[in-house]
Amino acid sequence: MSNLENRTDKPRKINYFGIAIKLILVAVFIFSVWQVVLYFREGNKEENFNRSLAETVVEEVDPEKEYDYSSDVIENITPFEGFDPDSAQTLIYPDIKVDFKKLKEKYPKAVGWIYSPGTPINYPVMQGKDNAYFVDRLPNGAENAAGSIFMDYRDSADLNDFTHVLYGHNMKNNSMFGTILDYRKDGYFKEHPFMFYFTEDKTYRLELFAGLNTIATSSLYTEPEADKRQAFIDSAFAGSTFSSNVEVTTDDKIIMMSTCSGAVGQINRYVVFAKIVEI
């Protein structure tokens, strides 16, 4: 007999473990892709909703006709060294106004409107009975991963507290508070040293003075006692990622804008602080 006739073929063993691992990896990949698709789909829904809302309640105005640009009014506005309000492109007064009657008719839980010229930030500020409701809901209550910009439920909607916290997601398409993280670069602050905040009967300039890397459990999110306000201000300036000349006292009112600065589920946060100035 030939060698071929003497050979006995043995059946191959099937590597069930290896097949299972491959199937798991494929499933994880498909799930991850689907999650990314859902993420951007939710982001698009949020953008379309808020764009439509802004078109309904926001009107462009000429700030020079709406506000007092006299030198005695603006001479103390110096957010950073070298800032010239007469020649700077940065708006020191808002170029929009908000129709709160229309806004409140549709969304009664809206307590304000925040606007940052030249950025996507142009949103209603909501306030719920807790800090969970608007994390994943649009102003109309529809569930959406992008959520809404909302004020801490413990804070005074009429801005009578010393500190007020606004929360918003760090979206990859830069919507919501996605651009807040850009304040970690000093140059971005010089391009956007002001934001504006509107309530039903008042308009405010938010004069940014600090930006901090922190965590969700930080004591910064707790209203400081009166005798600890100066320490609160000092710690904000000391740890800031940009340099500001804005003067802040314990008699001022402050808005903090907080967003995630790490992976989903982590506790890393970035917070921008602003002095509230009625205009």
Q: What is the mean pLDDT of residues 3-11?
A: 54
Tell me how crowded residue 186 is: count the other CB atoms within 10 A of its CB.
14
Q: Report the SS3 class of residue 49.
A: helix
Residue found under tokens 């006739």: 5
Q: What is the mean pLDDT of residues 127-152?
A: 96
Angstrom distance (rounded) from CA 240 to CA 167: 19
**236 — pLDDT class (breaks 50, 70, 90):** very high
CB 224 within 8 A of CB 236: no
Nearest to 155 by CA among 255, 252, 232: 255
Q: What is the pLDDT of residue 68?
A: 86
Lowest mean pLDDT among 14-18, 36-40, 99-103, 215-219: 36-40
89 has a pLDDT exceeding 80: no
Q: What is the pLDDT of residue 23?
A: 65
Angstrom distance (rounded) from CA 227 to CA 256: 20
Angstrom distance (rounded) from CA 37 to CA 214: 30
Q: What is the pLDDT of residue 4?
A: 47
Per-residue pLDDT reduced to its tens digit, 30-87: 544 444 444 555 657 888 999 999 999 999 999 989 998 887 778 788 999 989 877 7
